[in-house]
Amino acid sequence: MRRVMGLVSILLAFLSSLAPAQLADWKATQPIFLEAGSRVSAVRRDAAGRYLVLQSRPATLFVFDGNLKWLGKYVPQRGQDTLSFAEDFTVGDDGKIYVADRGAQAVKILSPSGELQQAIPFPQPISVAATAEGELFVSSAQARVLVSRVDSAGKVIGEFGALQEFAGRADVQRTFNIGLVRRDRAGHIYYLFRHLPRPTIHKYSPLGHLVAEFELVGQSLPRPQPPPPKELFPARPGEPPPRVTKTERAIRRAAAMTAHDVLTALAVDPQTEELWVGAGSSLLHVDREGRSLGEWQAVDPGGAPIKIDDLLIEPDRVIVVSAGRGVFLFPLPGGSTPAKAAP
């Protein structure tokens, strides 16, 4: 009996060694921007040092000073639908605010004081990045490519990024290609796939050429898998493709609707090009070559996990948006190189 118990103990110890180690807690110091409520989707900082906090519904921009003190808010003017359902925004070097307003099917351009200056029609914009010249890079839930390049007049002047195939499901693969667009000081464009089963980020040149593809690895992420086959039962040469029944179409629509977030947030250090990635409640730090620099579990001041829906990296701290929970202030994770201050 003792020998059996000893063997069991050895087996359990071996199995526990195969299990991934628990991530170190990355603990928030305090909740902030309480005046903006819990339905916050993104936080940015402008050249004047103010924090702009976007509430998705009702669509409102809250303004705070550099000491996190509330200054006011921008709301839709009476008789003018300034914002409808906004999910992401960015602030240009000139102080203009560019909002991806999915509900209004447009990218809205606001002045630094919050007045609507222009509305660029765009199908279901998800995310937006801007250049110093006012050009935009926009991702959409409907476009045939990953990123569209839009000039200051609102005209699409370029498109890049091929959609990733997902088991040949043309009717649902667009959902699995939804993602976030970010930009660094050198002009590189980063595209984070939110739903793709393989956690992936693409890096493009300012002209839209693919520079690198990072398949992220972490304890909280799905393990890399080979791409699934395009068709389980491919048609023979010369035969038409198999007919898709109504039941199969319904199943595929349901699969698209239940696609869950694999990666949830992305911030790029404008100087070092290092990446900070949210994956549920985990924070990953990645160098410019895609190599892991660290991984932590985000928790609130009480120790409960926090889902990371947006990130703002500052020289000595990190601001995290957690949809439904609010906004939290975190210290820069231990051992990380301080980020350069964002413009």
pLDDT value at position 74?
86
Res 228 pLDDT > 50: no
For residues 73 and 58, is the Cβ–Cβ distance under 8 A? Answer: no
Res 7 pLDDT > 80: no
Strands (E) in 15-115, as ranges, are 25-27, 30-32, 40-45, 51-55, 60-64, 70-74, 86-91, 97-101, 106-110
Q: What whole-number percentage of the chain has pLDDT above 90?
A: 59
**201-223 average pLDDT score:** 91
The encoded tokens of residue 185 equal 């000081």
For residues 193 and 180, is the Cβ–Cβ distance under 8 A? Answer: no
pLDDT value at position 97?
95
pLDDT value at position 321?
98
Res 75 pLDDT > 90: no
pLDDT value at position 336?
57
Q: Using the structure block, give the residue that is written with the tokens 């303004």.
A: 63
pLDDT value at position 67?
96
The residue with greater pLDDT, 139 or 239, is 139
The encoded tokens of residue 165 equal 């195939």
Sort residue 113 into left (φ over 0), alpha (ψ -120 to 50) or beta: alpha
pLDDT value at position 200?
93
Least confidently predicted of 8-22, 57-71, 104-118, 268-282: 8-22
Any idea what DSSP says for residue 14? Answer: H
Res 325 pLDDT > 60: yes
Res 28 pLDDT > 80: yes
Any idea what DSSP says for residue 76? Answer: P
Q: Is 4 exposed, middle or buried (0-12, 13-18, 19+ CB in 10 A)?
A: exposed
CA 213 to chain centre: 16
The residue with greater pLDDT, 234 or 105, is 105
Q: 198: pLDDT confidence band, cut at 50, 70 and 90?
A: confident
What is the rounded distance in angstroms from the CA atom of residue 37 to the CA atom of residue 323?
A: 10
For the entire predicted model, the pTM comes to 0.82
What is the rounded distance in angstroms from the CA atom of residue 293 to the CA atom of residue 287?
A: 7
pLDDT value at position 20?
46
What is the rounded distance in angstroms from the CA atom of residue 89 to the CA atom of residue 97?
A: 7
The encoded tokens of residue 145 equal 């490519």
pLDDT in tens, 94-130: 899 999 999 899 999 999 988 899 999 999 999 999 9
Name the amino acid, one letter, at 113.
Answer: S
Sort residue 170 into left (φ over 0), alpha (ψ -120 to 50) or beta: alpha
Q: 162: pLDDT confidence band, cut at 50, 70 and 90?
A: very high
Res 252 pLDDT > 80: no
SS3 of the chain: helix, strand, coil, percent, to 5? 10, 40, 50
**32-36 average pLDDT score:** 97
Res 65 pLDDT > 70: yes
How far from 210 is each of 151, 160, 186, 264, CA to CA, in Å? 21, 9, 15, 22
pLDDT value at position 196?
80
Res 169 pLDDT > 80: no
pLDDT value at position 178?
93
Res 282 pLDDT > 90: yes
The residue with greater pLDDT, 118 or 16, is 118
**139-166 average pLDDT score:** 92
**Beta bridge partners of residue 88, listed in sequence order:** 100
Q: What rounded mean pLDDT belongs to the chain?
A: 83
**277-282 average pLDDT score:** 96
